[in-house]
């Protein structure tokens, strides 16, 4: 007896804001009538924290992971125990999206050590001998855009051998001058990161210019805190020995789910950085780092 | 006999003319000339210069034969839609970007038959850029793990994550390198990839499809065997196009589930799922690590989905220009040395791209677009900097040591500059060309190109005041030092001038320049010039005189409301004098006479005859006529014509009648003398007869036969003409009949007397 269970949200993009109503249908499809002991829908929001093995050691990391922080939890019974007729049945539901107590609904974020995830789970309890049916569906929470607009603050940069910080071989470095700017370091998530980079001069031909998006996650726990920077994505913005004195566009779309507005709470922090990486043909690596402050997406996508 | 008193018969030429001779003067420009088709060719050549780029600017609405290439317009080539969409901007609101779904249909509407489609270019490029060297394809397709798709997880995150992971697989995936491929093998391999892309897509292996696309795009970064690169680009972008279309069709089919979308839908009509899928594609592609594989698929998917990106073309073009200096950079030069490719050869590799971009930009650029182009994209300072960029580039080409190519390059640039810029930039380009072509008389080898430069300028600049205010234009003309070419050029300028200068002009600069040109043309006529050539040249010059000098005078008159001040009178006289000096240079006596007539009329209208030193120039005029008559009496009918024109000229002015009468007497005297001469010899007797007869005709037509002497003369002439029996009897009969008919008219009764005295020679 094949039964299929599905949760379909009304919004195709599954993006919701706090205070809105999450609505959709539970879809049950079966050939024969399906007896059950109730269909229950759970809405849950959790922050999962994990300690990095680097910071606290393998065992602690494994055993001592920090307890998840619940942000949201509610449950409704969409159908009392009974029988679902054969064929396709759609049971509509609605959930108000409200934080638990005085908690705040953070934006959905999938990181390495920090995960903020919202799920809907539907359980169909079934009588003896039949396995319970279950289905989870993630939905995405975006914060309400702040009233005060983030004013774009362009940042110019200029990289020469002298501006490099952690190089021990300054004398042996080839000469170069790379200038450019980022249109803003306070980024709006829905907008791409943009700017320009110009190779004014370089003794050794450039091999590649890359843009690296890095997340910096900090988890606090009783023993202290762990701070880890990991790469989210690295995209190449120029290949080969680029034309000198020509501005090369910097353009990066923030990957969804893997980025979120910069977050700072008592237990954890999520920050982002952008690196501009210039690889020379002799494999010298020049990196310029920009801490960037991400803001909520604008509500343009909202429908 | 010589002293025949001339009596003028009163005639109403206008009404007579209307009654019996409704056709216009033969001088009507461009109406009767056998070489007339030459004048039309310009439209054709203009079309030929750049296919599909002119339709909006050409003012002549000649019907163009349908481009045979249009039959090849089957492909949904996104670039052409790209270009075409530029013209649609007025209808498309910026906010709701209309996605062009009925693109095939639309494309046919918007991209007309004269647009050379990419599909045509494609073949051309493939056949042009070939190589015999061995090629290699370096693919790392990852492990084809047959798409064991994780049991349709509903969470977006998982899906995205798995796909991203699969993309990452590429990095470690099995690497396959195919070496030593011939060009044909290469094309076949790419085609195979194209097929497997389609298959993968059809079997719902989207990730595999994307992998193929990414790998193909990566191939573009391989610049080995650069001679083959344009062809390679074509082959690989085909795959990209396929991919773009597949994605587009998928989303399109998603949209059409409840009911198909209309051809012109906006983004509001698309439902959320489709939008989400779309967005997903873009996010997916945006996270591809390498530049080219990220850029190309998003471009091609983007072009399918939202082709209204006209601005990109402009930006694209200028970016391309911006990177030009890279070519002289070390790494490029090194590459060229390694691959043993010469710079000129390397540069030609760019030609298809530039050609295509320009064609797209220029294609049917509607007015608003052009205006926008000027106002937004080309703000003055921008224009200035770019113009110097262009020049800089052209200079660079020159320095690279192939001046032959310089001019070819410049030739193209001129058109671009003409089309999109103002005279200032064109002037700059011309100046630069002069600078480059003058040393070592380089221009001698480049006449065809220089000529086409002029042609292009003329195509775009019809306003001669602008044209001649370019201070480099005339010096540029001076470069044409070979006579035949120079005349050719002058002629084309003249043709354009005559065709487009509708308003009479009073601009001294134009007039001066045009005079210069006329003079050049005139000077070119020599003993060896062909009759035909002379005729066409004179036609052009006449056209100019008609257009400007006389109209100038008339215009002045109109401005002064018929009453000339001393200044304007002098001016008008100068014009007239000019006409009379120029006219004798014409070879065709008919055109010359007609022109005289015309000029005379204008002069008359301007009261020139009664003012200033009339004798002097009247004498010139009449003397000229007389001289001509002397020169040409032996040509049939010419004497009659002279008389005719003389009559017309002075006809209405009694003040001059006596003088004219005197002149006519002289004339007749001369004619009669001539007659005598003719009569002296047997062979010429026939001609004498004919001449006598025609003089008779003139007398009857214009002379007042009430005067005895005149009528006697007429009778004499009649007899003379019949004396030798060469006269055409039928003509005589007809003439007699005409005279009799005339005699019935009220004030013509005296004719009957004359008629009676004219005896028809009996046929024996």
A13-17, B421-425, B559-563: range with lowest mean pLDDT: B559-563
Mean pLDDT of B287-309: 69
Smallest CA–CA distance, residue A88 to chain B, in Å, is 18
> Over the stretch B684-716, which tens digit does the pLDDT of each residue have?
555 555 556 665 665 555 555 556 666 666 666
For position B217, what pLDDT does the model report? 84
CB B569 within 8 A of CB B556: no
Show residues of chain A in contact with B282, CB under 8 Å.
Answer: 253
Lowest mean pLDDT segment, chosen from A110-119, B302-311, B325-334, B391-400:
B391-400
**What pLDDT digit, counting tens, does each position of B452-465 carry?**
777 777 777 777 66
The residue behind tokens 């004014």 is A200
CA B442 remoteness from chain centre: 26
Predicted confidence (pLDDT) at residue B433 exceeds the cutoff of 70: yes
Of A88-102, B107-121, B495-509, B619-633, where does mean pLDDT reach its minimum?
B619-633
Chain A residues with beta carbon closer than 8 angstroms to that of B330 = 205, 241
pLDDT of B632: 40
Give Dmax over CA atoms of chain A in angstroms: 81
Of A171-185, B77-91, B124-138, B287-301, the range with the lowest mean pLDDT is B77-91
CA distance A209 to chain B (A): 9
Q: Could you read off the pLDDT of B21-77 as tens digits, one per residue? A: 434 344 444 344 444 443 333 333 333 333 333 333 333 333 333 333 333 333 333
- Distant-in-sequence, close-in-space partners of B554: CB < 8 Å, separation ≥ 6: B504, B602, B605, B606
A209: left (phi over 0), alpha (psi -120 to 50) or beta: beta
pLDDT of residue A118: 93
Chain A residue with minimum CA distance to B157: A257
Which range (A50-64, A192-206, B32-46, B451-465) has the least confidence? B32-46
CA distance A59 to A51: 10
CA distance B38 to B60: 15
Task: Provide mean pLDDT across the span B201-217.
Answer: 85
Distance from CA of B154 to the nearest CA of A (A): 6
- Looking at residue B345, its pLDDT comes to 72
8 Å CB contact of B160 and A6: no
Closest CA to A150 of A48, A249, A262: A262
Chain A nearest-CA residue for B282: A253
B325 with A243: Cβ contact below 8 A: yes
Given an 8 Å threshold on Cβ–Cβ distance, is A235 in contact with B272?
no
Contact B331 A240 (CB under 8 A): yes
Please, which pLDDT band fits residue B361 given cuts at 50, 70 and 90? low
Residue with token string 């001393």: B566
Return d(Cα A70, Cα A118) in angstroms, integer: 10
pLDDT in tens, B89-143: 333 333 333 333 344 444 444 445 556 667 777 777 777 777 777 777 766 554 4
State mean pLDDT over B585-601: 51
- Contact between chains at A244 and B157 (C-beta distance less than 8 A): no
Of B154, B157, B325, the CB nearest to A110: B157
Average pLDDT of chain B, as a whole number: 59
> Which range, of B156-160, B164-168, B170-174, averages the lowest pLDDT?
B170-174
Q: Does B315 touch chain A (CB under 8 A)?
A: no
B97/A120: higher pLDDT = A120
Q: Which residues contact A4 (CB under 8 A, 6 or more apart)?
A: A27, A28, A29, A30
Whole-angstrom CA distances from B325 to B342, B401, B564 are 17, 16, 63
- Taking contacts as CB-CB distances below 8 angstroms, the residues of chain A near B272 are 11-13, 303
Q: Closest Cα of chain A to B283: distance in Å?
A: 7
Helix (H) or strand (E) holding B499: helix B483-500
Distance from CA of B99 to the nearest CA of A (A): 18
| Whole-angstrom distance, CA of residue B406 vs CA of residue B445 | 12
Q: Across residues A150-176, what is the average pLDDT?
A: 78
Whether B157 contacts chain A with CB within 8 A: yes
The DSSP H or E segment spanning A26 is strand A21-30
A187 to chain B, closest Cα gap in Å: 17
List, for residues A78-104, the tens digit of each pLDDT value: 888 888 888 999 999 998 888 877 888
Asked if B603 and B571 count as a contact pair (C-beta separation under 8 A), the reply is: no
Other Cβ atoms within 10 Å of B451 Cβ, number: 17
Nearest Cα of chain A lies from the Cα of B336 at a distance, in angstroms, of 14
Share of chain A above pLDDT 70, in %: 86
Contact at CB, B282 and A253, closer than 8 angstroms: yes
Maximal C-alpha separation, chain B: 126
pLDDT attached to residue B116: 63
Which residue among B276, B286, B323 places its CB closest to the CB of A243? B323
- Give the per-residue pLDDT at B71: 33
> pLDDT confidence of B403, banded at 50, 70, 90?
very low
Nearest C-alpha neighbor of B311 from the set B367, B354, B244, B373? B373
Rg (CA), chain B: 39
Query: What is the pTM assigned to this prediction?
Result: 0.52
Give the closest of B292, B294, B323 to A246, CB-based. B323
Contact (CB<8Å) B322/A12: no
- pLDDT, position A42: 92
Tokens for A229, please give them.
């920077």
In angstroms, what separates the C-alpha of B255 from chain A's closest C-alpha? 13
Neighbours of B123 (CB within 10 A): 11
Q: Is A138 in contact with B292 (Cβ distance < 8 A)?
A: no
Answer left, alpha or beta for residue B457, where phi above 0 means left and psi between -120 and 50 means alpha.
Answer: alpha
The secondary element (H helix, E strand) that includes residue B189 is helix B183-202
Check if the beta carbon of residue B521 is closer than 8 Å to that of residue B490: yes
Q: Which residue of A has its CA nearest to B318?
A: A246
Let me know: does A43 contact A100? Beta carbons within 8 Å: no
How far does B218 lie from chain A, in Å, by closest CA? 11
Which residues in chain B are closer than 8 Å to A6, comparing Cβ atoms?
Answer: 154
Helices (H), B421-482: 423-437, 447-460, 464-469, 473-478
Report the residue from A117, A237, A257 with minimal CB separation from B291.
Answer: A237
> What b/e sequence results for B397-422 when a residue is b if at least 16 CB atoms lie within 10 Å of its CB, and e otherwise?
bbeeeebebbbebbbbbbbbbbbbbb
Q: Which of A240, A242, A252 to mutate to test the interface with B (most CBs of B within 10 A)?
A: A240
Relative to beta strand A285-295, strand A186-188 is parallel
Please tell me the distance from the alpha carbon of residue A89 to that of residue A275, in angstroms, as a whole number.
51
Banded pLDDT at B717 (limits 50, 70, 90): low
Residue carrying structure tokens 């995150």: B157
Query: Is B171 at the interface with chain A, CB within 8 A?
Result: no
Q: Which of A164-178, B558-572, B595-609 has the highest mean pLDDT?
A: A164-178
Closest CA to B1 of B725, B720, B694, B595: B720
Structure-token pair, residue A218:
């900090």
What pLDDT band is residue B339 in, cutting at 50, 70 and 90?
confident
Distance CA B343, CA B336 (A): 8
Are B156 and A244 an interchain contact pair (Cβ–Cβ within 8 Å)?
no
Task: Report which of B675, B645, B682 is spatially closest to residue B660, judged by C-alpha positions.
Answer: B645
User: How far apart (Å, rounded) are the C-alpha atoms in residues B544 and B14?
Assistant: 27
φ, ψ of residue B723 to 5 degrees: the values are -60, -45
Q: How far is CA B535 from CA A32, B26, B360, B530, B584, in A?
A: 100, 13, 42, 9, 14
Q: For B313, phi and psi rounded to 5 degrees?
A: -60, -45
Closest CA to B649 of B611, B618, B695: B618
Judge: B322–A239 Cβ closer than 8 Å, yes or no: no
Contact call for A238 and B325, based on CB within 8 A: no
Rounded distance between C-alpha atoms, residue A136 and residue B274, angstroms: 23
- What is the phi/psi pair of residue B712, to 5°? -60, -45
Q: What pLDDT shows up at residue B473?
A: 75
What is the pLDDT averaged over residues B475-480?
Answer: 74
Q: Nearest Cβ partner of A235 from B156, B294, B322? A: B294
pLDDT digits (tens, 9 = 90+) for A244-279: 888 888 988 888 888 888 888 888 888 889 999 999
Report the residue from A244, A253, A303 with minimal CB separation from B286.
A253
Element (H, E) at A142: strand A133-142
Within 8 A of B275 by CB-CB distance, chain A residues are 12-13
Count contacts between A and B (CB, < 8 Å).
79
Q: With bands split at pLDDT 50, 70 and 90, how would you rate the model's confidence at B267? A: low
Which of A16, A243, A254 to probe the B interface (max B CBs under 10 A)? A243
- Name the band, by pLDDT with cuts 50, 70 and 90, for residue B587: very low
- Among A205, A239, A244, the residue with its CB nearest the CB of B292 is A239
Separation CA B15–CA B11 (nearest Å): 9
Using the predicted structure, report yes or no on whether residue B619 has a pLDDT greater than 50: no
Mean pLDDT of chain A: 83
Strands (E), B192-303: 264-265
Give the confidence band of B569 by pLDDT, cuts at 50, 70, 90: low
Instruction: Decide if B6 contacts B664 (C-beta within 8 A).
Output: yes
For position B661, what pLDDT does the model report?
52
Identity of the residue in A140, A242, A255 whose CB atom sits nearest the CB atom of B287: A255
CA-wise closest residue to B436 among B474, B477, B501, B391 = B391
Alpha carbon separation from A217 to A47, A157, A189, B1 (Å, rounded) = 13, 25, 18, 128
Confidence bin at B487 (pLDDT 50/70/90):
confident
Beta pairing class for A224-239 and A247-252 = unpaired
Question: Which of B156, B292, B322 is opposite residue A14, by nearest beta carbon?
Answer: B156
Q: What is the 3-state secondary structure (H, E, C) of B111-143?
A: CCCCCCCHHHHHHHHHHHCCCCCCEEEEEECCC
pLDDT grade, residue B333 (50/70/90)? confident
Taking CA–CA distances from B291, the nearest residue in chain A reads A236
Return the closest-CA partner of residue B433 out of B377, B467, B391.
B391
Helix axes B654-680, B708-723, angle to 10 degrees: 30
Collect all residues of chain B within an 8 Å Cβ-Cβ radius of residue A14. Answer: 156
pLDDT (tens digit per residue) in A219-228: 876 666 778 8
> Is residue B640 over pLDDT 50?
no
- Contacts of A224-232 with C-beta under 8 Å, sequence gap 24+, read A226/A51, A226/A52, A226/A54, A226/A55, A226/A56, A226/A113, A227/A55, A228/A52, A228/A54, A228/A55, A228/A112, A228/A113, A229/A273, A230/A111, A230/A112, A232/A258, A232/A259, A232/A272
Contact partners, residue B179, CB within 8 Å, separation at least 6: B134, B136
Contact predicate B6/B710, CB 8 Å: yes
* Residue ranges of chain A whose CB lies within 8 Å of a chain B CB: 6-7, 11-14, 110, 117, 119, 135-138, 140, 205, 233-246, 252-253, 255-257, 303
Query: What is the model's pLDDT at position A260?
Result: 85
Give percent above pLDDT 70 in chain B: 28
């Amino acid at each position: 007896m094949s039964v299929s269970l599905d949760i379909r949200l009304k919004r195709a993009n599954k993006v919701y804001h706090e205070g809105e109503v999450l609505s959709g249908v539970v879809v049950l499809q079966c050939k024969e009538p399906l007896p059950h002991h109730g269909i229950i829908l759970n809405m849950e929001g959790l922050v999962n924290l994990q300690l990095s093995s680097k910071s606290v050691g393998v065992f602690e990391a494994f055993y001592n992971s920090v307890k998840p922080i619940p942000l949201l939890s509610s449950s409704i019974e969409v159908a009392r125990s009974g029988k679902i007729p054969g064929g396709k049945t759609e049971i509509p539901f609605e959930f108000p999206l409200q934080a638990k107590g005085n908690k705040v609904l953070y934006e959905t974020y999938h990181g390495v050590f920090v995960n903020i995830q919202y799920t809907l789970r539907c359980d169909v309890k079934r009588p003896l001998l039949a396995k319970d049916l279950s289905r989870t569906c993630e939905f995405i929470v975006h914060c309400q855009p702040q009233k005060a607009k983030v004013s774009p603050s362009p940042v110019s940069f200029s990289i020469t051998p002298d501006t490099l910080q952690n190089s021990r071989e300054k004398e042996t470095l080839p000469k170069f001058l790379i200038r450019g700017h980022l249109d803003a370091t306070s980024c709006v998530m829905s907008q791409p990161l943009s700017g320009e980079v110009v190779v004014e001069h370089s003794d050794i031909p450039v091999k590649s210019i890359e843009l690296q998006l890095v997340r910096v996650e900090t988890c606090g726990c009783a023993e202290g805190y762990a701070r880890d920077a990991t790469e989210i994505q690295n995209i190449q913005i120029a290949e080969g020995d680029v034309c000198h004195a020509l501005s090369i566009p910097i353009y990066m779309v923030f990957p969804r789910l893997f980025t979120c507005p910069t977050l700072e709470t008592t237990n954890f922090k999520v920050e982002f950085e952008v690196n501009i990486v210039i690889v020379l043909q002799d494999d010298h690596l020049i990196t310029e780092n920009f801490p960037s402050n991400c803001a909520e997406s604008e509500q343009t996508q909202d429908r | 006999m010589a002293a025949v008193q001339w009596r003028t018969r009163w005639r109403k030429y206008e009404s007579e003319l209307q009654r019996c001779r409704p056709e216009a003067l033969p001088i009507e420009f461009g109406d009767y000339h056998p070489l007339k088709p030459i004048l039309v060719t310009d439209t054709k050549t203009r079309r030929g210069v750049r296919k599909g780029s002119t339709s909006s600017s050409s003012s002549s609405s000649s019907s163009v034969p349908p481009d045979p290439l249009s039959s090849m317009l089957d492909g949904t080539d996104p670039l052409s839609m790209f270009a075409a969409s530029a013209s649609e901007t007025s209808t498309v609101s910026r906010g709701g970007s209309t996605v062009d779904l009925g693109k095939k249909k639309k494309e046919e509407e918007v991209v007309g038959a004269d647009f050379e489609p990419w599909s045509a270019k494609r073949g051309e490029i493939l056949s042009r850029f070939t190589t015999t060297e061995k090629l290699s394809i370096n693919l790392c397709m990852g492990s084809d793990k047959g798409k064991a798709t994780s049991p349709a997880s509903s969470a977006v995150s998982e899906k995205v994550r798995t796909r991203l992971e699969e993309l990452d697989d590429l990095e470690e995936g099995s690497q396959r390198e195919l070496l030593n491929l011939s060009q044909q093998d290469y094309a076949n391999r790419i085609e195979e990839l194209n097929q497997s892309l389609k298959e993968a897509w059809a079997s719902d292996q989207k990730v595999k499809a994307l992998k193929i696309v990414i790998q193909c795009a990566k191939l573009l970064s391989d610049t080995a065997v650069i001679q083959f690169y344009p062809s390679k680009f074509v082959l690989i972008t085909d795959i990209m196009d396929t991919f773009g279309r597949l994605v587009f069709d998928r989303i399109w089919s998603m949209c059409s589930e409840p009911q198909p979308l209309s051809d012109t839908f906006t983004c509001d009509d698309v439902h959320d799922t489709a939008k989400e899928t779309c967005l997903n594609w873009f996010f997916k592609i945006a996270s591809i690590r390498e530049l080219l594989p990220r850029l190309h698929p998003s471009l091609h998917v983007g072009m399918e989905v939202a082709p209204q990106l006209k601005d990109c073309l402009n930006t694209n073009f200028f970016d391309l220009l911006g990177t030009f200096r890279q070519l002289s950079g070390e790494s490029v030069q090194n590459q060229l040395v390694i691959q043993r490719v010469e710079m000129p050869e390397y540069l030609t590799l760019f030609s298809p791209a530039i050609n295509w971009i320009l064609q797209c930009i220029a294609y049917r650029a509607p007015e608003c677009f052009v205006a926008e182009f000027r106002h937004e994209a080309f703000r003055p300072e921008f224009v200035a900097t770019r113009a110097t960029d262009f020049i800089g580039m052209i200079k660079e080409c020159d320095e690279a040591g192939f001046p032959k190519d310089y001019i070819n390059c410049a030739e193209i640039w001129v058109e671009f500059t003409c089309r999109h810029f103002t005279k200032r930039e064109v002037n700059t380009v011309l100046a630069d060309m002069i600078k480059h072509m003058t040393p070592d008389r380089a221009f001698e080898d480049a006449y065809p190109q220089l000529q086409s430069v002029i042609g292009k300028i003329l195509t775009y600049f019809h306003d001669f005041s602008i044209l001649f205010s370019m201070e480099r234009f005339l010096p540029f003309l001076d470069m044409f030092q070979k006579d035949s070419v120079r005349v050719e050029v002058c002629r084309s300028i003249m043709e354009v001038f005559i065709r487009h200068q509708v308003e009479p002009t009073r601009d001294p600069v134009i007039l001066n320049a045009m005079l210069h040109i006329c003079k050049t043309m005139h000077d070119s006529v020599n003993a060896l010039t062909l009759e035909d050539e002379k005729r066409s040249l004179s036609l052009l010059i006449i056209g100019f005189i008609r257009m400007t000098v006389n109209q100038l005078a008339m215009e002045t008159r109109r401005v002064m409301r018929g009453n000339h001040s001393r200044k304007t009178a002098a001016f008008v006289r100068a014009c007239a004098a000019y006409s009379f000096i120029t006219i004798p240079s014409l070879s065709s006596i008919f055109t010359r006479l007609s022109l005289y007539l015309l000029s005379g009329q204008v002069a008359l209208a301007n009261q020139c005859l009664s003012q200033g030193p009339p004798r002097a120039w009247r004498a010139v005029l009449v003397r000229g006529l007389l001289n001509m008559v002397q020169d040409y009496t032996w040509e049939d009918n010419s004497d009659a014509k002279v008389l005719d024109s003389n009559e017309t000229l002075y006809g209405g002015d009694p003040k001059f009648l006596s003088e004219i009468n005197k002149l006519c007497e002289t004339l007749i005297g001369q004619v009669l003398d001539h007659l005598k001469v003719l009569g002296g010899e047997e062979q010429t007797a026939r001609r004498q007869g004919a001449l006598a007869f025609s003089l008779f005709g003139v007398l009857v037509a214009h002379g007042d036969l009430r005067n005895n002497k005149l009528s006697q003369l007429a009778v004499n002439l009649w007899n003379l003409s019949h004396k030798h029996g060469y006269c055409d009897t039928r003509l005589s009969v007809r003439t007699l009949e005409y005279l009799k008919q005339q005699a019935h008219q009220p004030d013509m009764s005296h004719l009957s007397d004359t008629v009676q005295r004219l005896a028809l020679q009996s046929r024996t």
